[in-house]
Amino acid sequence: MKIYYPLILLAFTGISQANAQKYSNEFLNIGISARAQAMGNAVIASTTDVTAGYWNPAGLAALPAEEGLQIGAMHAEWFAGIGKYDYLGFSIPFANGKRRLGISAIRFGIDGIPNTLSLFDEEGNVNYDNIVEFSAADYAILAGMGQQTSFLGGKLALGGNVKVIHRIIGSFANSWGFGLDLAARLETGRWRFGLMGRDISSTFNAWTVSFTEEEKAVLVATGNELPDIQSLEVTRPQLLFGTGYLWRSGKVSLQPEISLHVTTDGRRNTLVSGDPFSIDPGAGIELGYNDFVFIRTGVNQFQQEQSFAKDEFWSARPSIGVGLKLGVFTVDYAYTDLGDSQNRYSHIISLMANLRPKK
């Protein structure tokens, strides 16, 4: 009987497709913060807190130096809790008050995957006690800075990120990657404009696969190919555009934004699909009262799907959320669909805290 090890081999699919150069490091496109998720990730122009280190590092410069050290954290569970997505970041101003440093750490992982390579003992008998678990996880560290300046009477900020990526599949494979992001943000009157060049240098992940001799023997004996791959995975540049507007009247504020996520790695299942450019639009709106409570909604990830009857239809990822400012703390919540037409919703919670210096 031929025995397969689908959970392990499936984890190597992204490595074996490295030559295709598509959907590489896709975990960095999920997005951080419940505010962003609630607004359909249409926050490229409006984000001016610690999470700007991910969305648009130029936005870090818009966070006043008086706010001091700002810390942000997020936890989200995807696919009915199978995938865990976590973020931790902080931002601190430079002495001149016109620059800010931002550090972001991200992990997306699936834990508790059974390693069935050890299912059989030395005599060929099934022994479930031999099964151990492993994790397939992606890690990223982003170190960025935003610099405030002026342009034609408006507030112009420039910024960028240097990032290090580490991806692991148990003890079987791992990779290290490096990349660069560049960004700009313009604030003129009530209008906000954002531009983010993600992986502008292309991001390179060097993979190393390492099975033990015993594991190789099991794979060969069960009719599976050995994924002995020493490869280089390349993430193509992406462009993110955002246009937002801030309206205030008394204690009420309204902030709509639209965004365009442009990929350059070939045709994707997006609203505008082309080769090499594909465009995924998004839109969101935030209603605030007294800078205390915020209600948000958004939509993005427009995709064409096919029903069991082979009928094609368009789906999207809707989202809603709420935010509260409680002194130096901000709590945000989002409720969002994965956009796969199967009503698999996820709860996302993020927190921020300002450690302001004493006057």
pLDDT in tens, 137-151: 999 999 999 998 877
Backbone angles phi, psi at 53, to 5 degrees: -60, -25
Q: Residue 12 above 50 pLDDT?
A: no
Q: Residue 19 above 50 pLDDT?
A: no
Overall average pLDDT of the 233-259 stretch: 94
Q: Does domain 6-355 have CATH number 3.40.1550.10?
A: no
pLDDT at 121: 62
| Tokens linked to 283 | 């839109």
Q: Residue 334 above 60 pLDDT?
A: yes
d(CA 295, CA 29): 24
pLDDT at 133: 82
Residues 6+ apart with CB under 8 A from 311: none
Q: Residue 16 above 80 pLDDT?
A: no
Q: Residue 255 above 60 pLDDT?
A: yes
Nearest Cα residue to 178 out of 196, 202, 198: 202
Q: Residue 135 above 90 pLDDT?
A: no
| Tokens linked to 228 | 């002995």
Q: Which of 37-51, 114-128, 168-182, 320-334 has the lowest mean pLDDT?
A: 114-128
pLDDT at 17: 42
pLDDT at 1: 29
Q: Residue 217 above 80 pLDDT?
A: no
pLDDT at 205: 86
Overall average pLDDT of the 17-24 stretch: 52
Q: Are 334 and 74 in contact (CB under 8 A)?
A: no
pLDDT at 20: 40
d(CA 268, CA 277): 8
Mean pLDDT of the chain: 85
Overall average pLDDT of the 215-226 stretch: 71
pLDDT at 95: 81
For residues 116 and 341, which has the higher predicted lDDT (pLDDT)?
Answer: 116
Q: Which of 19-23, 276-280, 285-289 has the lowest mean pLDDT?
A: 19-23
Q: Residue 346 above 90 pLDDT?
A: no
d(CA 104, CA 144): 8
pLDDT at 359: 66
Q: Are 215 and 19 in contact (CB under 8 A)?
A: no
Nearest Cα residue to 160 out of 185, 186, 182, 184: 182
Backbone angles phi, psi at 74, to 5 degrees: -150, 145
Q: Which of 40-49, 62-71, 126-135 has the lowest mean pLDDT?
A: 126-135
pLDDT at 233: 84
| Tokens linked to 340 | 């796969």
pLDDT at 358: 74
Asked, as a colleague might, if the bond just before 237 is cis with ω within 30 of 0, I would say no
Residues 6+ apart with CB under 8 A from 291: 251, 253, 325
Strands (E), the chain: 69-78, 83-93, 99-115, 132-151, 154-169, 173-188, 191-198, 203-209, 232-235, 238-245, 247-249, 252-263, 278-289, 293-306, 312-326, 329-337, 345-355
- Work out whether strand 252-263 and strand 278-289 pair parallel, antiparallel, or are unpaired: antiparallel
Overall average pLDDT of the 25-38 stretch: 91
pLDDT at 282: 95
Q: Residue 5 above 70 pLDDT?
A: no
